[in-house]
Structure 1
Amino acid sequence: MKRKLALILMACLAAAPALAYEPFVIRDIRLEGLQRITIGTVFNHLPVKIGDTLNETLGVQAIRRLYKSGYFKDVRLEREGNVLVIFVAERSAIARVKFEGNSDITTEQLETSLKQLGLAKGRVLDRALLDKIEQELKRQYYSLGKYGVKVSAEVEQLARNRVDVTIKIAEGDPAEIAAITITGNHHFDTPTLLKQMQLGEPSLFGGRNSYSKQLLGADLETLKSWYLDRGYINFRIESTQVSLTPDKEDVYITINLNEGEQYRVRDIKLAGDLIVGEDELWPLVSLEEDAVFSRRQSLDTTERISNRLSEEGYAFANVNVVPDVDKDTRTVGLTIFVDPGRRVYVRKVNITGNTKSKDEVIRREIRQMEADWMSTKLVSLSRTRLDRLGFFEEVNVETPSVPGTSDQVDVNFSVSERPTGNLTAGVGYSDSQGAMVNLAVTQQNFVGTGKQVGISIDRSSVSSNISLNYTDPYYTQDGISRGFRLYYRKIDTRSITVTNYLTESRGLSVSYGLPLNETDRSRFSVGYDNTRLFVDEYATAQDILDFISENGNVYDNFNGSLSWSRDRRNRRILPTSGGYTLAGVDLTVPGSDLEYYKLNLRHIQYFPLGRQTTLMLKGVLGYGTGYGGNTDLPPFQRYYAGGSNSVRGYDSNSLGPRDSRTNNAIGGDKKFIGNVELILPNPFTEKSGSTRLSAFFDIGNVFAAEDTIEFSKLRRSAGVAFLWLAPVGAMRFSYAIPLNDQPGDQIQNFQFTMGQPF
């Protein structure tokens, strides 16, 4: 800035002699030297115009203003008769801003930051600004702990008075935390407090020791919250010192605390305008009398009561917990003050961004109605339902107040469409079916109507499938769905560990789905199936040969199914919380060639243990038997276990009863599978939206009709797994160690599948 002012003053002083002439009336103004800057821009900055009398004072002022515009590096005034001639030399324009060597801060972030400082494509180059930019970028890298960063700016002159600016960055390595010292902690030891922090001292296995100013700030807030949740309401951080060694490689952090004393809750009162009865509000209070005070429970209480009030239309209620601290008894009385505010109703529900999906497809998922009281619960539920459709990359909602009113809002949903059609032709691999070839055309949002249409052809060494599917999720306005399916399926088990047989099936079905509430749904279907069963009398299990002897090998069956599901997951793909339950019965109706039924139960639950860690529990039960003229399940309807989808570490479909002649698995009438997975942070990437790393424990088996499910017969395994939702399909890798394998079990430690639906 000083340099700029100096240049302006020098220009003014130099101009003074040139203007040391008699004042004159300006009859015309001529500009010389303009290249990119418009004439109008120059005149906007001039303090004189045609017809004005130019004197020395106005001349100096004109030069000063043109310099201050930032467009020119030289300005000179001359007089030709009564014509004012202005000679200018423009500053160079920035053609491009390039970055080299940046990785921790993205190019987009750097461009945004420098644009705010005035350095961007199309701007005029101010060389004095480059020094400021270098210092600002160093400051940003210092906040990341990279104190050895080097930043330099290079300017390359181009034709037509343009320049390229290249910002070269040598980020260097972050400073490592050598030690963290905490003082003033009398109630909790330092190791306990360090466990609450993201930053940490060097460990035997490394990691967690790179310094970051942002992480330190977050850790200090975490410590404060941790103490407040344990009753230390007067806790404060007195000071924090961060010391850097001369070589800028090591950081020493000292945190000085004042814990204060622990307080308990003396009493709790409800006050204010209790438009909802106390009998409804008290169950929402997480705090308890004579318990240690917790800020988390206090915030949880205010949130619960606010949400309850919003269901009555009081969307902007204020609920505050007012403390009454008694230092002598170390207790705190709490008054929960409720101010419901004005009741608010929705004027309009607006939708934007749906370039493909029809309005009705979106509106039928929205539970907040126009001209009704606003409910934050219904607005949130509406957003969740839109997310679950799978049609949109992003769903956002805003509730701005209507101008000029105090009791009206608009609910504005904005969506970003994602491609819902898919044409795939590829190959895959499964440990249970070997190499696979797939061709599929699917459309989850056919011409924006929300209807689902698909045709797929799959072929592997084990199976061949052709299917045509159509589903209308809103066959009626009440949300009853209807779907049709045509299929052809061929299964040949000779290449796997299952007893040898071949089936050819063809059929069709129609299904209906009925929503019971926001999370529960029932579904029933009816259909026809024709199956032919072929065997090799020398390689097929005797019980299958006996089955054909009794029932023949061609079966015409009329099928029915009834199921109930409950979906409370936070999302369908890679969920991290909530659960999913599916219970159903599949059967053939009386009069079919084969009469049997199968009962199935599946439940999966996700428990978030932290920001990036989740515990998953899954259980699967199955039972099937014949009825009427049949006493057993058909061989091709039996349950199998082992492999990537059940008990990993054992070969696919290899567990359970075996044929005494071939030792191949023949399947069972009862099935039990249990899986426990600890889903861990992905060490390879910060973004885990398409990957999942986990450690697991599997247990399960299948059993014959006459056998009982005994714990000692359940096979168990443990290992690690990695899932990647790649563009070509889901890839699943697992390595498992069987924990109680028995003689004859077929072990397969490493298992891999690709291209299978997830």
Structure 2
Amino acid sequence: MQDATSILLVLCLMGSAGTCIAAQANDPNQQSAIQKQESFEIIKSIEFEGNEKFKDHVLRERLGFELGDRLDPFLAEGGRMTIAEVYRKVGYPSVKVSLDRDRLADGHLYYRIEEGPRVQIGSIEFEGNDSFGDGTLRQVIKIKEKKWLLWPYHFTEEAIDADVDRLREFYYGRGYLNYKIEAKTELSEDGEKMDVVFVIEEGPVYHVAQIVFSGNTRFTDEQLREDLESRENAVYLKAEADRDARKIEQRYREIGYVDAEVRQSVKFTPEVKENLVILTITVKEGRQFRIGRIDITGNETTKDKVIRRVLDEYDFTPGELYDAKIAPKEGNGRLEKYSQRAASADQVMIRPVTPESGDPNTKDVRVDMQEGMTGIIRPGIGFSSDNGVMAQIIYQQQNFDIADLPDSFGEWFMPWRTFRGGGQRFSVRLEPGTRYSQYSVGFADPYWRDEPITFNTLGQSWKRFRESYDEKRLKGAFGFEERVDEQWRRSIGFRAENVGVSDLDFDAPQEIRDVHGNNQLYGVRFGVGFSGVDDIYDPGQGRNVNVSYEQVTGDDAFGVLEGGYTHYFTLHEDVLGRKTVLAGRVQAGTILGEAPPFERFYGGGTSRYGIRGFEYRGVSTRGLQTNVPNPVRKDPIGSDWIFLAGAEVTIPLVGENFGLLLFTDSGTIDTGSYRLSIGTGLEIKVPQVFGNTPIRFEIATPLLKDEEDETQIFSFSGGGMF
């Protein structure tokens, strides 16, 4: 009534006679007087009275107009309602805002605000929830009761309505299709708390009487039933049926049905008392297309072949069926992500377009690229729980081209203008540190000779202060990995290394003393791997398997056999497509023969054989002290074999770059008992800066440990994928 009367007053102000009398207004501030509206009045001032929660400048920003704008009574009244809405959205349900009508005629906007109390959520109760406990439903809703030192949740009508919708979606998704849910609220006597009761009529659980397909001509009903999760006579689960529809849609799209759409719906059977529904999966197939011409635009520096090699590897080439599963017309497909990573671009979009030839069975492809900053010269300071503090001078070029030579002598000293655009990787790292110092030059070509073969080479020198000695290595290595198809990999690598062991402690174990000085190593490694995941960079489903063997000769001769298995499960996918993923891991390694201590296995930390909650190299066989009267096993000398097992859940927090980690790590070596830890952490992904490896901050607590182990609660790493 208040807002309706205000609008009536505004209409009167704008009348041709210029005056109007409004009677029977509820608010005395809105009782009209004879007012005069000038033809081109402007806003001369905007003032507020009674606003304690928000400063004047904050409210002015919300109004949508400012000083000097033409005075519009409609906008002025809209501003009053906007201010009231701003307050209601942060928990002031009884706020009152009025506009001084006398000043309005002279171009002055004067808003009087009676904020009232800010209302908190009091108690939250549920009635009629026979199938699900209060604790379960409290996890569904967003409003919360105040607990201990936590911030209170303030009442808004929008929040209550949103939670009612969440409860409705929860029940509907579990087969309760005839529910009734509403919220009742009651304000406390002091006006500061709002008690909320969700009244629920669950109704019966509905089962699927029949699954019916409609619109499918390419596949028979029997073929489409093969991968369905939904079953006749089972409870109707909306999420399950939605997944079935997506699977069928992907099945069509991967064989060229670019415009295929699949939807699921239910309708009640005539036998109402039996609580049955008919699940209908409706298919709009569209036409099947092959790929015509592929045009790449926006790549001023990057060569076309950087993108085309990725498309070729996934058979996305002219003449092939248009695989709209990996390159959907809506965008955000795997092929876009892989192309973006290959070129280190800010964005890559792959879209089907109608061919100029007019061929009704063909779609041309347009690849639009927005190039990014690929070269970085980064001085700074780095740190990690394993390596300590390091000064850094790093040059990285994520889109390197070894064939792009400088055109002049001066360009040799401007690498950011040359050696770019080929999709290769090049880096120079100078990192002196407190515990670990390294200097390296690395080069990698993911498509060696334009084939799906990765060639990489590394020259490296590093020094680390170990527990009872100093270790210095000079290393040269190169290797090849061939991607046989989308899943299988085979690799071979070579290394030559000089390992220097010096500055031994007076009580260093005999195993360390035996390798004092320089040690020459030469190794050749053979590997085979299988990658059956849905996304090679952010897997949510599938498994990775790898096995390798390295034969080492030189001053010592031994073999190293290693293997690992990781399985990924998507536990939940939100409306934005962000996935909560569970990853389970098993990893093991063993030495064949007699290996020196610096080539054996060490557990703990965040390294390859990390067990979070334990120090780097904190899980190891210990060597007996020398040169002391009562020697004990003190310093690590490595283990001949190691076994690790663990699980980790990654929950998206903000966008696609921040995730919450929940994990458990465990393992054992050739000495001591079984180790186990649990923990949590934060994962940050910035591929444009840090490449394909995330930054992680983690806290872990050991539950099982050996008395000789060294523990560590907090860890930080720039490590690889779990």
Shift, 1:178, TM fit? 2.0
Classify 1:248/1:228 alpha carbon distance in 2 versus 1 (closer, same or farther; 3 Å). same
Shift, 1:502, TM fit? 3.3
Shift, 1:275, TM fit? 1.7
Classify 1:354/1:215 alpha carbon distance in 2 versus 1 (closer, same or farther; 3 Å). farther
Query: Aligned partners of 1:566, 1:734: CA distance in 2, in Å?
Result: 27
Shift, 1:144, TM fit? 5.1
Aligned to 1:65: none
Aligned to 1:229: 173
Query: Aligned partners of 1:402, 1:103: CA distance in 2, in Å?
Result: 57
Classify 1:420/1:274 alpha carbon distance in 2 versus 1 (closer, same or farther; 3 Å). same
Aligned match of 1:263 in 206, 222, 239?
A: 206
User: Is 1:382 aligned to residue 335 of structure 2?
Assistant: yes
Classify 1:600/1:329 alpha carbon distance in 2 versus 1 (closer, same or farther; 3 Å). same
Aligned to 1:448: 421
Q: Percent identity?
A: 23
Shift, 1:671, TM fit? 1.6
Unaligned runs of 5+ in 2: 1-6, 20-36, 101-106, 328-332, 401-419, 627-633
User: Secondary structure of the residue that 1:284 maps to in structure 2?
Assistant: coil
Moved more, 435-444 or 324-333: 324-333
Aligned to 2:636: 665
User: Secondary structure of the residue that 2:243 maps to in structure 1?
Assistant: helix
Aligned residues: 640
Query: Aligned partners of 1:121, 1:216: CA distance in 2, in Å?
Result: 37
Please give the residue correspondences for 1:131-530 in structure 2 after superposition, counting only pairs within 5 Å.
131-143=77-89, 145-147=91-93, 175-188=119-132, 190-203=134-147, 206=150, 209-237=153-181, 239-242=182-185, 249-314=192-257, 315-321=259-265, 323=267, 325=269, 326-344=271-289, 354=299, 356-366=301-311, 367=314, 368-369=316-317, 373-379=321-327, 380-386=333-339, 388-389=341-342, 391-394=344-347, 416-446=370-400, 447-493=420-466, 497=467, 499-507=468-476, 509-530=477-498
| Letter of the 1:714 counterpart | Y
Aligned to 1:641: 603
User: Secondary structure of the residue that 2:654 maps to in structure 1?
Assistant: coil
Shift, 1:343, TM fit? 3.3
Aligned match of 2:544 in 561, 578, 581?
A: 581
Task: Say if 2:343 and 2:399, in contact at 8 Å, map to a contact too.
Answer: no
Deviations along 1:499-544, one digit per CA (max 9) or x if unpaired, are: 425344232x332222233354433223433444446494442234
Please give the residue correspondences for 1:535-550 in structure 2 after superposition, counting only pairs within 5 Å.
536=504, 538-546=506-514
Query: Aligned partners of 1:316, 1:93: CA distance in 2, in Å?
Result: 58
Aligned to 1:702: 669
Shift, 1:485, TM fit? 1.9
Query: Aligned partners of 1:243, 1:699: CA distance in 2, in Å?
Result: 51
Query: Aligned partners of 1:346, 1:659: CA distance in 2, in Å?
Result: 64
Task: Say if 1:348 and 1:411, in contact at 8 Å, map to a contact too.
Answer: yes
Classify 1:740/1:336 alpha carbon distance in 2 versus 1 (closer, same or farther; 3 Å). closer
Task: Say if 1:266 and 1:332, in contact at 8 Å, map to a contact too.
Answer: yes
Shift, 1:456, TM fit? 0.7
User: Secondary structure of the residue that 2:240 maps to in structure 1?
Assistant: helix
Shift, 1:377, TM fit? 0.6
Please give the residue correspondences for 1:603-752 in structure 2 after superposition, counting only pairs within 5 Å.
603-610=565-572, 614-625=581-592, 631-645=593-607, 646-661=610-625, 663-679=634-650, 687=654, 691-703=658-670, 713-722=673-682, 733-746=697-710, 748-752=711-715
Name the larger-Rg structure: 1
Task: Say if 1:102 and 1:170, in contact at 8 Å, map to a contact too.
Answer: no
Query: Aligned partners of 1:166, 1:483: CA distance in 2, in Å?
Result: 70
Query: Aligned partners of 2:353, 2:262: CA distance in 1, in Å?
Result: 18
| Letter of the 1:332 counterpart | V
User: Secondary structure of the residue that 2:391 maps to in structure 1?
Assistant: strand
Shift, 1:713, TM fit? 1.6
Aligned to 1:59: none
Shift, 1:665, TM fit? 0.8
User: Is 1:9 aligned to residue 19 of structure 2?
Assistant: no
Deviations along 1:198-242, one digit per CA (max 9) or x if unpaired, are: 2344456756844454544443333333333333333344x5445
Classify 1:576/1:504 alpha carbon distance in 2 versus 1 (closer, same or farther; 3 Å). closer
Shift, 1:376, TM fit? 2.6
| Letter of the 2:550 counterpart | L
Task: Say if 1:537 and 1:545, in contact at 8 Å, map to a contact too.
Answer: no
Classify 1:153/1:456 alpha carbon distance in 2 versus 1 (closer, same or farther; 3 Å). farther
Query: Aligned partners of 2:668, 2:379: CA distance in 1, in Å?
Result: 35
Deviations along 1:728-747, one digit per CA (max 9) or x if unpaired, are: 9887555544434444444x
User: Secondary structure of the residue that 1:476 maps to in structure 2?
Assistant: helix
Query: Aligned partners of 1:218, 1:621: CA distance in 2, in Å?
Result: 49
| Letter of the 1:577 counterpart | G
Moved more, 390-399 or 555-564: 390-399
Query: Aligned partners of 2:383, 2:110: CA distance in 1, in Å?
Result: 47
Classify 1:584/1:336 alpha carbon distance in 2 versus 1 (closer, same or farther; 3 Å). closer
User: Is 1:568 aligned to residue 575 of structure 2?
Assistant: no
Task: Say if 2:160 and 2:183, in contact at 8 Å, map to a contact too.
Answer: no
Classify 1:667/1:515 alpha carbon distance in 2 versus 1 (closer, same or farther; 3 Å). same
Query: Aligned partners of 2:298, 2:45: CA distance in 1, in Å?
Result: 35
Task: Say if 2:606 and 2:719, in contact at 8 Å, map to a contact too.
Answer: no
Task: Say if 1:602 and 1:619, in contact at 8 Å, map to a contact too.
Answer: yes
Please give the residue correspondences for 1:105-144 in structure 2 after superposition, counting only pairs within 5 Å.
119=65, 124=70, 126=72, 129-143=75-89
Shift, 1:442, TM fit? 0.7
Shift, 1:444, TM fit? 0.9
Coordinate RMSD, CA, aligned: 4.7
Classify 1:647/1:343 alpha carbon distance in 2 versus 1 (closer, same or farther; 3 Å). closer
Aligned to 2:410: none
Query: Aligned partners of 2:422, 2:99: CA distance in 1, in Å?
Result: 54
Query: Aligned partners of 2:585, 2:120: CA distance in 1, in Å?
Result: 41
Query: Aligned partners of 1:510, 1:295: CA distance in 2, in Å?
Result: 52
Q: If the length of structure 1 is used for normalisation, what is the TM-score?
A: 0.70
Q: If the length of structure 2 is used for normalisation, what is the TM-score?
A: 0.73
Query: Aligned partners of 1:523, 1:103: CA distance in 2, in Å?
Result: 63
| Letter of the 2:544 counterpart | T
Deviations along 1:243-290, one digit per CA (max 9) or x if unpaired, are: 556866433444444433223223334454432134421212222122
Task: Say if 2:260 and 2:283, in contact at 8 Å, map to a contact too.
Answer: no
User: Secondary structure of the residue that 1:134 maps to in structure 2?
Assistant: helix
Moved more, 196-205 or 304-313: 196-205
Shift, 1:670, TM fit? 1.0
Aligned to 1:19: none
Unaligned runs of 5+ in 1: 13-72, 76-88, 155-162, 626-630
| Letter of the 1:285 counterpart | L
Deviations along 1:17-53, one digit per CA (max 9) or x if unpaired, are: xxxxxxxxxxxxxxxxxxxxxxxxxxxxxxxxxxxxx
Aligned to 1:49: none
| Letter of the 2:666 counterpart | I
Classify 1:125/1:192 alpha carbon distance in 2 versus 1 (closer, same or farther; 3 Å). same
Classify 1:377/1:204 alpha carbon distance in 2 versus 1 (closer, same or farther; 3 Å). same
